[in-house]
């Protein structure tokens, strides 16, 4: 008699993630949570006199609420929905994603040899309830030569990153000091995220949605 080895059934995704970011999905997997990604396009314009903390919290909540409306409109199973938004700020100014090489070069030159803040707002929506949390980290970059900046821009890495750099990529060699959350600088602060998800019964270790599909 031949023994047949079968794979165990996959666990049902515990939550939705209102983002197309592979980094955020990988960070959730790091704490034991699978997700279904639902990218949400919203207006990310900065409002008049809006400070960076209010900005990222507003966008995170807006993405979460838009995602929840998408669930309702498409009659999808209702599970907690997570969203996040990250920005870089220096001298009180918000630096978004660079539109082109010239803008990326200007941002990196401005951040060179000094510290700046990276803020990530996180929101979890379920029904009419939306909870938010904020992560603030201070990052110091090494002095960057023109050759270093040009080489980094040539890699193509800066163009989908707030502040024109990604700490998890080649720009890791530029980081002289980090005070705060590494995962928050990546785009999803795991401490704050875990606390919000725990309010919905999801803790990554024994979450309520880790049972198997029948």
If we measure between CA atoms, which residue out of 128, 112, 86 comes closest to residue 175? 112
In angstroms, how far is CA 129 from the centroid of its own chain? 20
Task: Specify the CATH class of 15-198 in words.
Answer: alpha beta
Q: How far apart are the first and last CA of the chain?
A: 28
Q: Which two tokens stand for residue 161?
A: 């990153």
Give me the mean pLDDT over the 150-159 stretch. Answer: 96
pLDDT tens digits, 43-87 = 999 999 999 999 999 999 999 999 999 999 999 999 999 999 999
Strand partners, 121: 85, 134
Q: What 8-state DSSP symbol labels residue 114? A: S
pLDDT at 3 over 80: no
pLDDT at 213 over 90: no
Chain mean pLDDT for the chain: 90
Q: What 8-state DSSP symbol labels residue 159? A: G
Has 85 been annotated as catalytic?
Answer: yes
Q: Which two tokens stand for residue 167?
A: 């700490």
Catalytic residue among 49, 85, 128, 179: 85
């Amino acid at each position: 008699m031949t023994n047949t080895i079968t794979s165990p059934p996959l666990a049902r995704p515990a939550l939705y993630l209102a983002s197309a970011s592979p980094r955020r999905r990988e960070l959730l997997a790091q704490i034991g949570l699978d997700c279904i990604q639902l990218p949400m396009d919203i207006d990310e314009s900065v409002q008049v006199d809006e400070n960076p903390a209010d900005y990222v919290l507003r966008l995170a909540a807006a993405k979460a609420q838009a995602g929840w409306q998408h669930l309702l409109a498409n009659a999808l199973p209702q599970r907690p929905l997570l969203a996040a938004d990250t920005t870089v700020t220096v001298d009180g100014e918000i630096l978004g994603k660079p539109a082109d090489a010239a803008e990326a070069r200007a941002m990196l030159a401005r951040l060179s040899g000094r510290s700046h803040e990276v803020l990530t707002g996180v929101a979890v929506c379920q029904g009419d309830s939306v909870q938010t949390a904020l992560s603030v980290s201070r990052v110091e970059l090494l002095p960057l030569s023109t050759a270093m900046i040009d080489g980094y821009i040539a890699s193509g890495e800066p163009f989908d990153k707030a502040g024109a750099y990604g700490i998890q990529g080649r720009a890791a060699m530029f980081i002289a000091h980090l005070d705060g959350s590494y995962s928050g600088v990546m785009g999803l602060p795991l401490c704050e995220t875990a606390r919000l998800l725990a309010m919905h019964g999801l803790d990554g270790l024994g979450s309520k949605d880790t049972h198997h599909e029948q």
